[in-house]
Amino acid sequence: MVKLVERRNPDPKFYSAGFLFFVQLVHVSFLLVLIKEIFDLHYFVFSKTYLVNKLYWMPLAIVWLIVVNIYYNKRYPELVKLYEGKEIITTRNTIIVFSLLLIPLIFTIILSMR
């Protein structure tokens, strides 16, 4: 019997592309909420229930994730060469990465609750 851990085969490139996709998703949703608040726009919705709207947008998100993954895999050798021999995981870089994610996410949550 094959163990699940052996079959899973985690790919760090896909995890990196997934994190990049999530950060892009947060930034796009922040821009949409900001435009909605500034110009008092009402976006098209498929249904009045949140679950149905989320399910309709899911195929677009999957295609977007695939595109980000393909683009990231093409650029991966360049990124390895660029950062080869450099210390990547530092406190400064960690603060920059998480602030680029958390600050727009917090503002998106605050603006969408209004």
pLDDT of residue 105 exceeding 60, the answer is yes
Q: Indicate whether 43 pLDDT > 90.
A: no
Residue 65 lies in a domain: yes
Interacting residues of 23 by C-beta distance below 8 A, sequence separation 6+: 100, 101
- The model carries a pTM of 0.82
Mean pLDDT of the region 37-51: 85
* Residue 104 within a domain: yes
Q: pLDDT for 49-64, tens place per residue?
A: 888 888 899 999 999 9
Residue 99 within any structural domain of the chain: yes
Decide if 28 is inside a domain.
yes
Structural domain contains residue 4: no
Q: Which residue has the higher pLDDT, 44 or 30?
A: 30
Query: Among 16, 8, 112, which Cα is nearest to 71's?
Result: 16
Q: Which two tokens stand for residue 36?
A: 């909605």
Confidence grade of residue 3 (pLDDT, cut at 50, 70, 90): low
Residue 99's domain comprises 11-112
pLDDT for res 70: 95
For 61-83, write each residue's pLDDT tens digit. 999 999 999 999 999 999 989 98
C-alpha to C-alpha distance for 46 and 53, rounded to whole angstroms: 6
Total domain count, the chain: 1
Say which amino acid occupies 94.
T
pLDDT value at residue 5: 53
Mean model confidence pLDDT for the chain? 88
Q: Is 44 helix (H, G, I), strand (E, B) or coil?
A: coil
In a domain, 5, yes or no: no
